[in-house]
Amino acid sequence: MSERRSSESGFPIKGVYTAADLPEELETRLGGPGEYPYTRGVYPTMYTSRPWTMRQYAGFGTATESNARYHQLLRAGTMGLSVAFDLPTQMGYDSDDPIAHGEVGKVGVAIDSIEDMRMLFDGIPLDKVSTSMTINAPGSVLLLLYQLVAEEAGVAGSALNGTIQNDILKEYIARGTYIFPPKPSLRLVADTFGYCRKEVPKWNTISISGYHMAEAGATPAQEIAFTLANGVEYVRAALEAGLAVDDFAPRLSFFFVARTTLLEEVAKFRAARRIWARLMRDDFGAKDPKSMMLRFHTQTAGVQLTAQQPEVNLVRVAVQGLGAVLGGTQSLHTNSFDEAIALPTEKAARLALRTQQVLAYETDLTATVDPFAGSYVVEAMTAEIEAAAVELMDRVADHGSAVDAIEAGFQKREIEQSAYRIAQEIDSGERVVVGLNRFTVDEEEPYEPLRVDPAIEAAQASRLARLRAERDNDAVERALAELRAAAEGTDNVLYPMKEALRARATVGEVCGTLRQVWGTYRPSDRF
């Protein structure tokens, strides 16, 4: 029997729930599927008409290697691509920059210029796939490279469908791949909103992420509270930039984790939808129902995977994926069982996708909408998580804004306290982790991880040298000067940025130009 007596968010879990535990005005709290407040899902039919989008997060080494993996995933039946970038790309540095040494191609694919992006998507019909790019500080740069490659293939911006993460605020809280100080970073986000509304109208311009905060130790209540508080900040930034709420809010999306605590995770997703709908309608005056819909992608919890007895992760991922589906996710990435050890092998990635396909096609999960509606325990948990999250959001607002709270270290401090508590519970054995502190084995079976060739760095540097020798460098300098002028003024920077990238300016050169104007953020800075 499990020792668990309280939820991840801290409220007690009863042994038995009854009708007395249901929140008041349940029908009002629920609404119908596809109706305000969207507790039961953002679409009336949910998975009964089509399943969620099945994504696999992939990218490693060179663009050519990653391209081969994408083709393999598409053949295996994945419905959308999700691109992982290496650390230098995430930080806006070229592969031949001294600071990039040792990191090129390690945790994702290295993208230095339009030439790499061409190779990454070679042979992939960009008007038929949905592509998610996990990139934040230079998110606009990678989106424009994607658009340029699509245009070369005859695909208009209006036909492109996908998402850039573009969520810079959570980088200051939990992840650290920021470049610029928050104010210009928020301006870049708002410029991306404005650009995509005109040029890439079906693109989701931001994926406001709680996943990385959860990986850092946030509870489910903290995860949605701090994520939605950041969402409020992005809405305010867009309004201050002169955009109308119903012009950009329908393209906002979110990104959450799915843990093994299935019931609480289902409740978390339902509570998040309800809070966001209320905020958008009542606080920001949204009229378009799409502005009130919290659409989200889910990834199973990498932090809960273990290097010990890694095959057990197959079970964990199945349970986590089940929670995401029961919670009403719009798309899902299931982690590979070997990710606690190294980059996933091709077989492991295929098994992760097959997990989703079993859930979609062998179970009855897609037969009905929101099967937990009215459940004594899930409705009680939904109300409790909602109340805890709203209380945390109020504490963020007490600082003035999410940015002010970040400056004060509030979110980071709260998450660190939760992470410390979890670590103590694992160390003491109070929190059971199968294969780690309970049900261990004396010897582990050997496992051969996928390894990245260290020669990739030299190859990327050689490609960059050839690019700089062959391109029209005067045209590049003129285009970068136009970008610098826009950054110094108030014009939307994405238009000159696109022309610089078209002229074959590199990711590092574009980000370096913006660094010259906006500066580089240091954790001790004040803003």
Predicted confidence pLDDT, tens digits, the chain (527 residues): 445 589 999 999 999 999 999 999 999 999 999 999 999 999 999 999 999 999 876 667 789 989 998 998 899 888 788 898 999 999 999 999 999 999 999 889 999 999 999 999 999 999 999 999 999 999 999 999 999 999 999 999 999 999 999 999 999 999 899 999 999 999 999 999 999 999 999 999 999 999 999 999 999 999 999 999 999 999 999 999 999 999 999 999 999 999 999 999 999 999 999 999 999 999 999 999 999 999 999 999 999 999 999 999 999 999 999 999 999 999 999 999 998 887 788 899 899 999 999 999 999 999 999 999 999 999 999 999 999 999 999 999 999 999 999 999 999 999 999 999 999 999 999 999 999 999 999 887 776 766 667 789 999 999 999 999 999 999 999 999 999 999 999 999 999 999 999 999 999 999 999 999 999 998 765 44
Domain regions of the chain by residue span: 45-428
Instruction: Find where tokens 């109706």 sit.
Output: 35
Residue 342 burial (10 A CB sphere; 0-12, 13-18, 19+): middle
3-state SS, residue 372: coil
Residue partners of 472: CB distance under 8 A and separation at least 6: 503
Long-range CB contacts (< 8 A, 24+ apart) of 313-321?
313/337, 313/338, 313/339, 313/340, 314/351, 314/355, 316/260, 317/352, 317/355, 318/355, 318/358, 318/359, 319/260, 319/262, 320/258, 320/259, 320/260, 320/262, 320/265, 321/258, 321/355, 321/356, 321/359
Q: What pLDDT score does 3 carry?
A: 55
Say if CB 252 and CB 205 are below 8 A apart: yes
Among residues 228, 216, 260, 267, the alpha carbon closest in space to that of 418 is found at 216
Q: Which CATH superfamily is domain 45-428 in?
A: Methylmalonyl-CoA mutase (3.20.20.240)
Q: What pLDDT score does 522 carry?
A: 85
3-state SS, residue 187: helix
From CA 209, how far away is CA 519, in angstroms rounded? 25
Q: Which two tokens stand for residue 324?
A: 């995401």
Task: Identify any residues that bridge with 85 across adjacent strands, giving them in sequence order.
Answer: 109
From CA 8, how far away is CA 342, in angstroms rounded? 28
